[in-house]
Amino acid sequence: MKKNKILVTGGLGFIGSHTVVELQQKGFDVVIIDDLSNTRIEVLDGITAITGVRPEFVQMDLKDKVHVASFFEQHSIDGVIHFAASKAVGESVEQPLKYYENNISTLVYLLKNMTKNKVPHLIFSSSCTVYGQADELPITENAPVKKAESPYGNTKQIGEEIIQDVTKVFDLNAIALRYFNPIGAHESVEIGELPLGVPQNLIPYVTQTAAGIREELSVFGHDYPTPDGTAVRDYIHVVDLAKAHIIALQRLLEGKNKSKMEYFNLGTGTGSSVLDVINAFKKANQMDVNYKIVARREGDITSAYADTKLANEELGWKANLGLEEALSSAWQWQLKQK
């Protein structure tokens, strides 16, 4: 039987690389497009070490219309998992046009080529950021999409809308996966998160502080209306998250989707505060993390965690790995970095 060939854009990034591993382990043929703007080529070796298969890799910027068009003419693709995007919230405020060009223009070209070449399935990397500070917790997929706090968040909202419009008139089925906070690394420690420069996200900052690369973690805000005053998020192991992509893709390939565009929250359903994360890190790794409490970070919401019912019931997916397992893998990955 012919294997399905899946294009993974941004397949050498954090979530992309873990998803490529899961795809190959399920027997899919994978071709990766990545421009290496926020990762390293060595990730390809990591994927190969885990799976025993070196995926086909094309270094390409999705803004390069001519090459994207010829790529689709030369490859017969059964489905696309689209990760490639810029993702730094703060940078997006400073450079909105970079974000609209990198995340929106590229999505439009991708969809043009998919529809022209009759590629019928798309999994889109979305974010719980579309909900802003939700009025009710846990957050269901029916929670209203609120005005985005940043151009980055806006690109995820607009991206979902563009895809939905396209599914209405073309033979395209899509699933938007709204991630909560992905963390951790593959258990082999061959792949993980590669933040460039000073990390903006909590977990790489924690591991770099424990490793002595950063002096002290700043805990942003101690006066939130939460049990310990620090902000609450739903931290999900990247391997659990990656597995959900394969299930969503299979749902489309088997025609089990109930509408042409579906949306699923991907989280654990459990909220953890910043102090909970620090404590879980200490427990999992027997390592202390220096920290100090500072003012809130602008744009941060108080609390977000997922209602996992729809993903559990419709996709048959749930997160299996816990916070300590994720923090243990993140630490092992940190130890491997030079």
Beta pairing class for 79-82 and 5-9:
parallel
CB of 157 to ligand UFG, least distance (A): 11
The answer to whether residue 47 forms part of the interface with ligand UFG (CB under 6 A) is no
The answer to whether residue 51 forms part of the interface with ligand UFG (CB under 6 A) is no
Residue selected from 82, 233, 245, 251 as contacting ligand UFG according to rule CB under 6 A? 233
| DSSP annotation of 263 | E
Task: Report the site for ligand UFG in 187-216 (rule: CB under 6 A).
Answer: 200-202, 205
Q: How many CA atoms, within 13 angstroms, populate the side-chain half-sphere of residue 141?
A: 19
The answer to whether residue 82 forms part of the interface with ligand UFG (CB under 6 A) is no
CB of 4 to ligand UFG, least distance (A): 29
For 198-312, list the strands marked E by DSSP: 217-220, 232-233, 235-237, 261-266, 272-273, 291-294
CB of 75 to ligand UFG, least distance (A): 29
- How many chain residues touch ligand UFG (CB under 6 A)? 21
Distance of alpha carbon 320 from alpha carbon 15, whole angstroms: 17
Query: Among the candidate windows 122-130, 133-141, 166-174, 326-334, which touches ligand UFG by CB under 6 A?
Result: 122-130
The answer to whether residue 91 forms part of the interface with ligand UFG (CB under 6 A) is no
- CA-based end-to-end distance of the chain: 43
Residue selected from 51, 127, 155, 285 as contacting ligand UFG according to rule CB under 6 A? 127
Q: Tokens at residue 156, please?
A: 């995820």
Q: Tokens at residue 12, please?
A: 């050498």
Residue selected from 48, 115, 117, 218 as contacting ligand UFG according to rule CB under 6 A? 218
* Closer by beta carbon to ligand UFG, 177 or else 304: 304
**Contacts with ligand UFG, 282-311, as mask; x by CB under 6 A:** ---------------x--x---x-------
Catalytic amino acids?
A: 152
The answer to whether residue 231 forms part of the interface with ligand UFG (CB under 6 A) is yes
CA distances (Å), origin 221, targets 81, 89, 142, 236, 293:
36, 18, 29, 22, 7
CB of 210 to ligand UFG, least distance (A): 13
Q: Which residues contact 70 (CB under 8 A, 6 or more apart)?
A: none
Hey, what amino acid is at 182? P
Q: Is the peptide bond before 138 cis (omega within 30 degrees of 0)?
A: yes
Beta pairing class for 173-179 and 79-82:
unpaired
Residue selected from 18, 82, 87, 186 as contacting ligand UFG according to rule CB under 6 A? 87
Q: Which residues contact 176 (CB under 8 A, 6 or more apart)?
A: 124, 126, 160, 163, 261, 262, 263, 264
Distance of alpha carbon 319 from alpha carbon 182, whole angstroms: 11
CB of 140 to ligand UFG, least distance (A): 16
Residue selected from 172, 236, 274, 327 as contacting ligand UFG according to rule CB under 6 A? 274
Residues in the site for ligand UFG, rule: CB under 6 A?
87, 89, 127-129, 153, 181, 200-202, 205, 217-220, 231, 233, 274, 297, 300, 304
